[in-house]
Amino acid sequence: MSQLSVRHLLGIKNLTVQDIELILETADKFKEVLNRPTIKKVPSLRDLTIANVFFENSTRTRLSFELAEKRLSADIINFAASNSSVKKGETLLDTVNNILAMKVDMIVMRHSSPGSPHFLAKHIKANIVNAGDGTHEHPTQALLDAYSIREKHGEIAGKKVVIIGDIAHSRVALSNIFALKKLGAEVAVCGPKTLIPKYIESLGIRVEHDVFKALQWCDVANVLRIQLERQHSRDFPSLREYALYFGVNKSLLDRLDKKITIMHPGPINRGVEITSEIADSEHSIILNQVENGVAVRMAVLYLLAEQTA
């Protein structure tokens, strides 16, 4: 089997098209394992110990990595900064080096500081998987999103995908843009001017501020949450006004002359960026994204482990 060109999964930016295709194809095989009626696991990583090191809150990503590791028969330990010695002033590098001293082979890390996994990669030998670094990248989310579009539409090349919402504070947006562009999709972003970075068009994507026009253009709409915890200024008057002008709802979708696929990385703020009616509709693949996340993360962990084998 082919190998990845990287030792760590730090972001999508530094992956090749072949890397992404290899991850998606490997995820296909692991999805078959997960769909077996019995024994939904393989012994592939039974000699490995993986630490899930989360300095930021998470539901989907942390549980999805933990399940992926268990399905690969790895030993795991979980670290949450909130009840650790980080609270006593321990540095990131000291924390990780202490975890590695316990003979841990791989680190899956979420951290609020952009670039923190890249910093670690310069100082430690173990493989690192970025589970989200601040406003920078969330590579496994983009991979599972690409996998889910491919599963629903057959291929990604030529598909029109719009990412709607708080692009400026989103790591999901940047990783999705890198992944979808590499795989040949046409990509647009849509949101208020204050939530779209000025540099974004230099990535070769369209910018739209009218949500109806954006929805009419696309095959797939990936709707993002307003990242209030990362906003340091008031970028729009109120959540109510945001929902009025940029929220995805039934009356907007009913006006389209076609059916589109609705995605959301979660967590959803129902009634703000998307109504419940749309999030739970037959055109939504939101829970398929979550399901596919386990297979995609199994693929990432398996392929990175192959690098050191």
Which residues make up the interface to ligand CP (CB under 6 A)?
Answer: 58-61, 132, 138, 141, 265-267
Minimum gap (Å) between residue 158 Cβ and ligand CP? 26
Residue for token pair 């539901």:
59
Task: Indicate the residue among 2 and 59 with the shorter CB distance to ligand CP.
Answer: 59
Minimum gap (Å) between residue 180 Cβ and ligand CP? 17
Minimum gap (Å) between residue 258 Cβ and ligand CP? 27
Task: Indicate the residue among 53 and 217 with the shorter CB distance to ligand CP.
Answer: 53
Q: How far apart are CA 210 and CA 192, in angstroms?
A: 9
Report the amino acid identity of residue 29: K
Task: Indicate the residue among 27 and 186 with the shorter CB distance to ligand CP.
Answer: 27
Task: Indicate the residue among 58 and 78 with the shorter CB distance to ligand CP.
Answer: 58
Q: Residue 175's closest CA among 206, 203, 202, 213?
A: 203
Minimum gap (Å) between residue 224 Cβ and ligand CP? 10
Give the 3-state secondary structure percentages of the chain, helix then strand then coil, rounded to 5: 45, 15, 40
Q: Residue 290's closest CA among 268, 260, 271?
A: 268
The two structure tokens encoding residue 296: 């995609």
Task: Indicate the residue among 8 and 138 with the shorter CB distance to ligand CP.
Answer: 138
Q: Residue 10's closest CA among 97, 113, 178, 138?
A: 138
Minimum gap (Å) between residue 66 Cβ and ligand CP? 11
Minimum gap (Å) between residue 78 Cβ and ligand CP? 14
Q: How far apart are CA 251 and CA 180, in angstroms?
A: 28
Beta bridge partners of 207: 189
Minimum gap (Å) between residue 58 Cβ and ligand CP? 3
Minimum gap (Å) between residue 103 Cβ and ligand CP? 27
Strand order in the sheet with 160-164: 206-208, 186-190, 160-164, 220-223, 261-263
Task: Indicate the residue among 184 and 267 with the shorter CB distance to ligand CP.
Answer: 267
Task: Indicate the residue among 8 and 264 with the shorter CB distance to ligand CP.
Answer: 264
The backbone region for 165, taken as left when phi is positive above 0, alpha when psi lies in -120 to 50, beta otherwise, is left
Report the amino acid identity of residue 10: L
Using alpha carbons only, give the angle 134, 85, 83 rounded to the nearest 5 degrees: 70
Eight-state DSSP code of residue 263: E
Task: Indicate the residue among 44 and 109 with the shorter CB distance to ligand CP.
Answer: 109
Task: Indicate the residue among 182 and 297 with the shorter CB distance to ligand CP.
Answer: 297
Q: How far apart are CA 292 and CA 284, in angstroms?
A: 14
Q: How far apart are CA 105 and CA 96, in angstroms?
A: 11
Minimum gap (Å) between residue 67 Cβ and ligand CP? 13
Judged on CB neighbours under 10 Å (0-12, 13-18, 19+), 88 is: exposed
Residue nearest to ligand CP (CB): 61
